[in-house]
Chain A
């Protein structure tokens, strides 16, 4: 049993480089949790503190019911997959896999049984005698995974393990990782800056920015109800459209106003706002495009129509903001057209302000 609990864990490099400003949450045993965020937000640092490779400046780290803050990496019952794979170059694949077992005094018969089992599971039987440099990227990746799996640790740590692979292999390995987790049900902590990877793999997502946790939740929660503007814009491709609006009372009813746009807002939500300069967030799939002049629609002009394959991205100018909407691939819309955009009212997000940290306003 190993849940991983962060107790105000903080890391400051030197005097004032705050890499992780304070993590304070618990990862229940057996979950697949992703840490996501832009480059430099402190994901690796957080992971390395869990591994014991980086000493926290303050705070405690607790596995299950044991405080492991001061334990050496080797005494933490963890395994880690590095972005660079970090396979031992002078050892064969088989020796790479066995090294951890050897260090733990496992007999050579047992080791070779384990190697067979892992090699079979990861389809690397045929190159057990090769050195890492004689392997392709995907094969190295598997060996690195195998080296972590073979020891059967309580907690798996993965630092961008797929980022060095080409797109096709990434998708493939992503699926393999998901199956592995299904099967092993071990706590896995996965660092990535690829929000799609996080969405598809995780039970929980932890979104970080500037060393601060922005939101923790299931992929659906994070996607459907982002807690602030940063999360809203970071998760999802294309990123959520933001339309700067002003919150006004008209005839006693609160409305979001921007140029030719005027949308009614529930009183409850409006009462939560601390200012009038707000932003309206709409995901590209939550627009409906219709002929100009439709009731309840807002007129917009098509700037570009971009075919991605399965669908079209329609770039539009809407109330001085540039937004992206989705349309079916066979949609006849093209650049220069005038259309009318309507919104699905339940899929609108209102943010209290224009900065990254602007909180989402949501009726209870």
Chain B
């Protein structure tokens, strides 16, 4: 007879093994990126590979002194923050309206929000370029962040719609009887119930924008206004790819998101899980 506690222990060992395997799978590229960024140029391509190099900061030095990496990093931060703030602000109001207000045809409206996802980005970018050049939004950080709304806004609306749907109507009705206007009720009572959702969607909206390449490469040509993905793509050329530089840049570029995930993890878990049910 295997006792219950032994069986439990066996199960937990198995779980840990699986998790370890998964971690290796996910973690290895990250490890390799970090290690490569700390190797000198000849070690990077050495076979058999060097697992624990003697760290050198030469690529980081070059990254910040020779290239305009700092500038691009800042550009990325600006563009992504702008688009995230706008997307979350508009998305929250839009999603709330779709849930609570008596808008005719709101089901259809809500679903058509996802239409933007049916098209590949390339299809959207051509008309965008035309429109933006008329409006003088080419080579503009504001313009690029507007372009990012095409996917950030539908996403925020779609997810927040679920969140608001799960907040009991009674709460905001109580607030409105207590003397709040509808917008005040939204701010004071509904939004605090949906914080996990707002944090989760903000992170994802930011992440989309942070990793976005196509729109940025096409809509922003000015070297000083570029965001990280297209700028970093320039490190790799047909002749000579500066792997050390690429890895160092990638490492730094990964940092903000890794930090965001680490700090906001607990909200994220409730956020992802709580879409349908009340959190």
Contacts and interface: CB of A to CB of B under 8 A. Distances in A.
Q: Do A and B bind each other?
A: yes
B169 to A, nearest CB: 9
B193 A89 contact: yes
A142 interface: no
A223 interface: no
A11 interface: no
A72 B176 contact: yes
Interface stretch (A79-87, A254-262, A301-309): A79-87
Contacts of A78: 177
A84 B175 contact: no
A84 B168 contact: yes
Nearest to B174: A86
A53 B173 contact: yes
B181 A88 contact: no
Nearest to A100: B178
A103 B176 CA distance: 10
Contacts of B192: 88, 90
B77 to A, nearest CB: 30
Interface in A56-98: 72-74, 78-80, 82, 84, 86-90
Given A90-B193, A99-B188, A103-B184, A74 B168 contact: no
A73 B177 CA distance: 5
B171 interface: yes
A104 interface: yes
Contacts of A104: 179
Contact of B176 (A73, A87, A89): A73
A73 B188 CA distance: 17
A88 B179 contact: no
Contacts of B180: 74, 103
Contacts of A89: 171, 193
A73 B173 contact: yes
A52 B192 CA distance: 24
B170 A103 contact: no
A104 B173 CA distance: 16
B189 interface: yes
A51 interface: yes
Most chain B C-beta atoms within 10 Å of own C-beta, residue among A72, A86, A90: A86
A89 B173 CA distance: 14
A86 B171 CA distance: 5
B174 A88 contact: yes
A74 B170 contact: no
Contacts of A72: 176, 181
Contacts of A74: 176-181
A91 B10 CA distance: 44
A196 B86 CA distance: 55
Nearest to A88: B189
Contact of B175 (A51, A52, A79, A88): A88
Interface in B149-190: 168, 170-171, 173-181, 184, 188-189
A140 interface: no
A312 B163 CA distance: 53
A5 interface: no
Which 8 A-B residue pairs are closest in the complex by CB-CB distance? A103-B179, A100-B178, A86-B170, A86-B174, A90-B192, A74-B179, A73-B177, A73-B176
5 contacts: A74-B178, A84-B170, A88-B192, A89-B171, A99-B175
Interface of B: 168, 170-171, 173-181, 184, 188-189, 192-193
Interface of A: 51-53, 72-74, 78-80, 82, 84, 86-90, 99-100, 103-104, 147, 151
